[in-house]
Amino acid sequence: MPERVVEVVPEEGLHARPASLFVETANEYDAEVSVGPEGAADDDLVSASSMLAVTGLGVAGGEKLRIVAEGADAVAALDALEELLSTPEDEL
Amino acid sequence: MNETELKELIDVDLISLDEPPAEKEAVIEHLLDLAVEAGRVSDHEQALADLLAREEESTTGVGMGIGIPHAKTAGVAEPTLAFTRSSEGVDFGAMDDEPATLFFMILVPEASSDDHLQILSSLSRSLVHEETREKLHTAETAERVQEIIIEEVA
């Protein structure tokens, strides 16, 4: 399954606007995307399409995430999510 | 946070089991009123402005029937969590289009670090479980709701 580790650039972390854009983006692709802290086991990943689950991760700026995608658009979804997380909040 | 701090955070006075208003902004004001009546808010207008500014950025309707309006604000001196629930459901603008039925408002003082985000993420982690949401819906007293929240956030 395609996956990658991405640093969260927005200073406030994965909250508020960056978090909702993250969830919206994950929902746009034909892929099941799951996410967790870097090094998280498969069982500890949560659905990237749930705002509640993503909020529950409590990710701060500068932390790294492990993102795993499965499905026809898995790689495209990972590309889009990586780009989003690599963009400072004021440029989103 | 230890248990004493959590009890202080979500005093029973901050929990209402009556049906809240049917509209998002009115629910936020209703939660804030609970905190005002409990003597937790030094600047009502400031706290409301900060809560609404946060909603402006993106909705705190996080789906699965949960709304968690929150702000760091000069309007409170101590971290404060208020709770209410609805049997009708309120449109909180969530991405999953589910009406919100459980509401938590988190206010923390300006000077605090990112306490509100920690409370927010612990709450969210526990609310992902249907069992927790069900417990909060069926609890019969404010004391029981307080117990559940303390168990889940601790």
Q: Is 90 exceeded by the pLDDT of residue B116?
A: no
**What range defines the domain where residue B70 resides?**
3-153
Which residues 9-68 in chain B show a CB within 8 A of chain A? 54, 57-59, 62-64, 66, 68
Question: What is the per-residue pLDDT for B31?
Answer: 98
Minimal Cβ distance to B64: which of A46, A52, A60: A52
Q: For position A20, what pLDDT does the model report?
A: 95
Structure confidence at residue B1 (pLDDT): 80
B91 CA to centre of own chain: 16
Q: B85: Cβ–Cβ under 8 A, 6 or more apart, which residues?
A: B17, B20, B101, B102, B103, B136, B137
Q: Would you call A90 exposed, middle or buried from its count of C-beta atoms within 10 A (0-12, 13-18, 19+)?
A: exposed
Give the pLDDT score at A62.
96
B70 assigned to active site: yes
Q: How many CB atoms lie within 10 A of CB B68?
A: 23
What does the pLDDT look like over B23-32, one tens digit per residue? 999 999 999 9
What CA–CA distance (Å, rounded) separates A13 from B134?
A: 30
Which candidate in A11, A15, A44 is best for mutational testing of the B interface (most B CBs within 10 A)?
Answer: A15
Which band of pLDDT confidence, cut at 50, 70 and 90, is reported for residue B68? very high
Distance separating alpha carbons of residues B103 and B52, to the nearest angstrom: 15
CATH number at residue A30: 3.30.1340.10
Mean pLDDT across the stretch B50-78? 96
Q: What is the CATH number of the domain that holds B142?
A: 3.40.930.10
Instruction: Please tell me the distance from the alpha carbon of residue B106 to that of residue B82, in angstroms, as a whole number.
Output: 7
Asked whether residue B154 carries a pLDDT value surpassing 90, the answer given is no
The per-residue DSSP string of A16-46 comes to: HHHHHHHHHHHHHSSSEEEEEETT--GGG-E
Spell out, as residue ranges, where chain A has pLDDT lower than 70: none
Per-residue pLDDT at B11 = 95
Domain count, chain B: 1
- How many domains does one find in chain A? 1
Query: Could you tell me the residue range of the domain that residue A32 belongs to?
Result: 3-91
- The band of B112, judged by pLDDT with boundaries at 50, 70 and 90, is confident
Q: A8: which chain B residues are within 8 Å (Cβ-Cβ)?
A: none
Mutate to test the interface with B, among A17, A20, A23, A51 (most CBs of B within 10 A): A51
Say whether pLDDT at B139 is over 80.
yes
Q: At what angle do helices B44-57 and B24-37 cross, to 10 degrees?
A: 150
User: How far apart are the C-alpha atoms of B77 and B91, rounded to whole Å?
Assistant: 30
